[in-house]
Amino acid sequence: MTLPFFPVDLFDGDREALLDIVERVGTAPEQKFILGECTAAFEAAIRDSIGAADAIACGSGTSALMLVLRAMDVGAGDEVIVPAFGCAPLAAAPALVGATPVFADVDPWTMVADPEAVTRLITPRTKVLMPAHMFSVMADMPAFRRVADGAGVRLLEDSAVAQGGVLAGTPAGRWGDAGVYSFVQVKTFGMPGEGGMVVTDDRELGSTVRMLRNHGQDGTTRFRHHRIGYNSRFDEIMAAFQLHRFPTLPGRLERRAWIGEYYTGRFRELAGCGVLAPPSASDGRCYYVYSLLCERRDELHEFLAARGIGSHVYYRNPLPRQPAFAPYARPGQTWPAAELAARRSLAIPIYPHLTDQQVERIADAVCEFAKES
């Protein structure tokens, strides 16, 4: 039986509920399809679950980053320090608001931004530090909080992949002046559509984000625009669907954690064979993706495929090596750990409805490759 990396049946168990929600929202007398009661209830559920002062649902995790940067008045002449290894929005969001993304190298093992590398890049133009959690590991947010406070700059925590993660007792998204989540299909709280969330303890910042997501309107007087904003509004059907699934999120997170910890235990002995698992720890883990570092990454990918096991390569190039972002790279700067991660990282399946037998089969195949190749 084939085990795909991106499963097609993530929401099969909720099919009837989703159809009922579509009918209920579609036939409701108020005909409110965006930013209605369901969105408000979903925001309240996320806000209360992590103890934040505000939570603002928006169109995507990418737009959540942009909205926060705009709310922080980031623009031309400002610099935003981001990881050199990660998804395109890390660099695109600052660039789209007119700022300059500055690329910091990452930790060679965890692949999250290195606080020391970030510190060396701070200049008088630096306005925001934007670390991102990566795969199954949260960034060192206590260190980034200290660096940001010491430099007098804002801290924006990209928690798009880390919803449900906790570090030193603080939920992912709560370490920065603001944090963001993503609800795209394969995330830990994914849904069959696009969506994101900004969470913050800064009520003024939250109010500005709320205004910017809806063309600069403040929600009191329609067609009165206080700022130039965006169309980044949340869908009522998706809000109702996420509310339906919210009580079962802890169970799915617990299952992901079990799979990840099982993998790490099985792979601990493979470091001398060219396959390196993530660090073994329970604190600061999120298990959105389980990514190995493999000296012969492409060979492992093919080996698994031949056995019916899907795997996936994220980010074959560091961000400053991408054509879109190369113009922002500082001359002579290098990112050796990010380059190494781009060559070696390979993600294997970790979705919560994998059976124990399937998880064991995946681990067996990785061990077979490492020990016999």
Main-chain dihedrals φ then ψ at residue 63, nearest 5 degrees: -70, -30
- d(C-alpha 42, C-alpha 31), whole Å: 18
The per-residue pLDDT for 224 is: 87
Name the active-site residue from 32, 127, 187, 371.
187
Q: For the chain, give me the number of helices (H) and strands (E)? A: 12, 12
The per-residue pLDDT for 373 is: 65
The per-residue pLDDT for 22 is: 94
| CA geometry: angle 292, 110, 144, nearest 5 deg | 160
The H or E element containing residue 289 is none
Name the nearest CA neighbour of 98 among 70, 120, 63, 131. Answer: 70
The per-residue pLDDT for 72 is: 98
CB 159 within 8 A of CB 94: no
What are the structure tokens assigned to 11, written together?
């929401």
Residue 142 one-letter amino acid: P
Burial of 283 (0-12, 13-18, 19+ CB in 10 A): exposed
Q: Where are the alpha helices (DSSP H) in the chain?
A: 15-27, 37-50, 61-71, 89-96, 115-121, 141-151, 203-212, 236-245, 249-267, 297-306, 336-344, 356-372
Active site residue 32: no
Residue 333 one-letter amino acid: Q
Number of residues in the chain: 373
Give me the domains of the chain, ranges plus CATH numbers. 12-247 (3.40.640.10), 248-372 (3.90.1150.10)
Per-residue pLDDT of the chain (373 residues; tens, 9 = 90+): 799 999 988 899 999 999 999 999 999 888 888 989 999 999 999 999 999 999 999 999 999 999 999 999 999 999 999 999 999 999 999 999 999 999 999 999 999 999 999 999 999 999 999 999 999 999 999 999 999 999 999 999 999 999 999 999 999 999 999 999 999 998 999 999 999 999 999 999 999 999 999 998 987 788 889 999 999 999 999 999 999 999 999 999 999 999 999 999 999 999 889 999 999 888 999 999 999 999 999 999 999 999 999 999 999 999 999 999 999 998 999 999 999 999 999 999 999 999 999 999 999 999 999 988 6
Name the nearest CA neighbour of 239 among 60, 34, 76, 84. Answer: 34
List all residues 6 or more positions away from 144 whose beta carbon is below 8 Å from its beta carbon: 113, 115, 118, 129, 131, 155, 157, 175, 176
